[in-house]
Structure 1
Amino acid sequence: MVMAAGTRIGWGDLPAAVRERVEGIVGGRVVEAVSQTGGFSPGTADRVRTADGRRAFVKAVTPAVNERSAELARQEIRITSALPGHVPAPRVLGSLDDGDWVVLVLEDIEGAHPRTPWVKDEIDAAVTALAELADALTPAPLTVPDVTAVITEGFGGWQRLAADPPADLDPWAAAHLPELIAAAERGLAASSGGNTLAHCDIRADNMLVRPDGRFVIVDWPWGATAPIWFDRVLLALNITVHGGDPERVIAGLDRRIVTDVFAGWAGFFRDISRLPPPPGLPSVRAFQRWQADELLPWLRRELGR
């Protein structure tokens, strides 16, 4: 398994003026900050505690390190702030954006990421959380782009690979590029026109399992309108990649659509893995290549039927 993470900074790396403003949001002087691993941002991801025991989760990034990460942070502030209070997502305590730093302060969720390979009880709890989200977020509570605006370029990955095939392209994929291109095109078409606010980046490291087993969905910068099933397919994809039983997720869904969406993401991952890593994210390309490789057995089986 390949894992990826940004080259993180921590609470102590923030300018004093930014830390003071965050402490004003949290409601006290921060006496402890524990940096969290994982994720793709080169910014902070700190669980903080004040002298009187208040807790929060602080995410901060500067465009001086990675402009795109700052743009995503602004999107996350907007989307997370619009989520209804009863959904399984963290509450926003406050935010700031002074041009040099973009900061989101969230409630600190007690919990840990689900286990990978995925286990049955956590798969079922994740499906329940996604069903709660889909029910509460249909129709979408704010204006965001259709998911096709986010994925159209990526789902053209197999076309770009066909035009310029790498020497180490999987032999089966190389021999079936027309079928993979067609499947990705069908997956893109099936994903358009929904009115549910979907998370659009459902992965184990974007979920937390509370001590009582309930799931909370975190990290919302990619939110877009999509069909009500879209996040469930992404959960099945993550389970397929990491190991587990995706059949527990896709029961009742159109299996052809699942496979076609998988094909679109696999092409995106394989194609983009050829690019140099972006600033502050040195391992992301290897992670994307690994995901593409792990999806190929599903595609070989399902497209061969």
Structure 2
Amino acid sequence: MGEIESWTGTRRISWAAVPAPVRDAVEERLGARVTAAERLAGGFSEGVAARLRLADGRDVFVKATADPAVRDFHRREGVIASAFAVGVPSPPLLFALDLDPWVVLVFAFVEAELATEPDRPRVLDAATAMAAALTPAPARPATAPRLGGFADLSRPQVARCSPWAAAHLDDLVELERSQDWAGDTLLHGDLYLFNALVSAQRVWIVDWAHAWVGPAYCDVLTVMAGSGGVPPETLLAGNALTRDLPPPVVDGFLAAHAGFLVRLAVRASDPSLSAAAASLGRASLKWLARRPYSAT
């Protein structure tokens, strides 16, 4: 099982719940009637994530929302996906529709499953190749990296996720503040196993709403940090983007990555999202605690 896939998909709605004018507009752009819709697992946000079967035999993937908290994420993802060149491991965006209050993204459908722990090396390879393909960045979203957060939390709040982090809170704040996120790579920014699809032939990276431009190593370190199989230090030493990173850079990323996740775990109103963030944050902290240059 992937890191948290059992917690995802709890707020999805059916394609039939989308207003008829929106469904009609999608069918018009597709040039074919929808004959069947399969709700798909994955994701935390409220909205549609579905496989649509068309009367002409094609399948497409649609995600749609009218939730004010999610619409801008979909709009942002549409801009990013439209900038991808052939070769980027992401399903092609066919079109986007902004039909206030609904935002709809329609992608080519790929026959693949959510990645699980045994797939992590393949996802890591895909992330490494993707960093090369997306440098220099083909799009430059204004999105800030979702990194850092310990400075906003009290010791008791942090202790709810990690007693070790609470005991080393001052060091973690200093580590996350010391980092420079300058770079020229378009990064996914949310690259966990539940945002990767795998088939026998290839890996697809999906859900680009949190993309940002920064150092090429960030996505691959995110993939490594969640490893429940191969030790992260082994992955670190074997990857071209990370093997020569100065130890303080790795430590600083892990601290900032965990800081974001712990803050999210403490403040999220969705219990599933909070549990997922706490689990992922603890994985980064577990690795950091074992690093020779970590806070002690």
**Dislocated runs of 4+, deviation >3 Å:** 162-171, 242-245
Please name the residue that 1:109 is paired with.
110
1:161-240 to 2 correspondences below 5 Å: 161-162=153-154, 165=157, 168=160, 170-186=162-178, 189-190=179-180, 192-212=181-201, 214-239=202-227
Counterpart of 2:60, as a letter, is A
Relative contact order: is structure 1 or structure 2 higher (C-alpha 8 Å, sep ≥ 6)? 1
Secondary structure in 2 matching 1:274: helix
* Unaligned residue ranges in structure 2 (runs of 5+): 238-242
1:169 and 1:223 map into 2 onto residues whose CA distance is 26
Deviation at 1:228, TM superposition (A): 1.2
Distance of aligned partners of 1:59 and 1:125 in 2 relative to their CA distance in 1, 3 Å threshold? same
Does residue 133 of structure 2 align to residue 136 of structure 1?
yes
Deviation at 1:295, TM superposition (A): 3.0
Deviation at 1:238, TM superposition (A): 2.8
1:12 and 1:135 map into 2 onto residues whose CA distance is 40
Cα contact 1:28–1:50 (8 A) shared by 2? yes
Please name the residue that 2:33 is paired with.
29
Equivalent in 249, 252, 273 of residue 235 of structure 2: 249
2:77 and 2:165 map into 1 onto residues whose CA distance is 35
1:121-160 to 2 correspondences below 5 Å: 122-145=119-142, 149-151=144-146, 154-155=147-148, 157-160=149-152
Please name the residue that 2:265 is paired with.
273
Please name the residue that 1:79 is paired with.
80
* Unaligned residue ranges in structure 1 (runs of 5+): none
Residues 50-95 of structure 1: CA distance to partner in whole angstroms, max 9, x if unpaired?
12211100000003xxx12101000001100111122111111111
Deviation at 1:294, TM superposition (A): 3.1
1:246 and 1:56 map into 2 onto residues whose CA distance is 36
1:110 and 1:253 map into 2 onto residues whose CA distance is 36
Equivalent in 273, 289, 304 of residue 278 of structure 2: 289
Please name the residue that 1:100 is paired with.
101
Counterpart of 1:99, as a letter, is D
Distance of aligned partners of 1:166 and 1:105 in 2 relative to their CA distance in 1, 3 Å threshold? closer
Deviation at 1:38, TM superposition (A): 1.6
Distance of aligned partners of 1:167 and 1:200 in 2 relative to their CA distance in 1, 3 Å threshold? closer
Calculate the aligned-residue CA RMSD, in Å: 2.2
Secondary structure in 2 matching 1:95: strand
Secondary structure in 2 matching 1:44: strand
User: Could you state the TM-score of these two structures normalised by the residue count of structure 2?
Assistant: 0.87
Residues 141-193 of structure 1: CA distance to partner in whole angstroms, max 9, x if unpaired?
12223x6x233xx51x222224764664643322211211122123xx23x21
Deviation at 1:203, TM superposition (A): 0.8
2:158 and 2:222 map into 1 onto residues whose CA distance is 27
1:38 and 1:283 map into 2 onto residues whose CA distance is 12
Cα contact 1:232–1:249 (8 A) shared by 2? no
1:282 and 1:298 map into 2 onto residues whose CA distance is 25
Deviation at 1:246, TM superposition (A): 2.7
What percent identity do the matched residue pairs reach?
34
User: Could you state the TM-score of these two structures normalised by the residue count of structure 1?
Assistant: 0.85
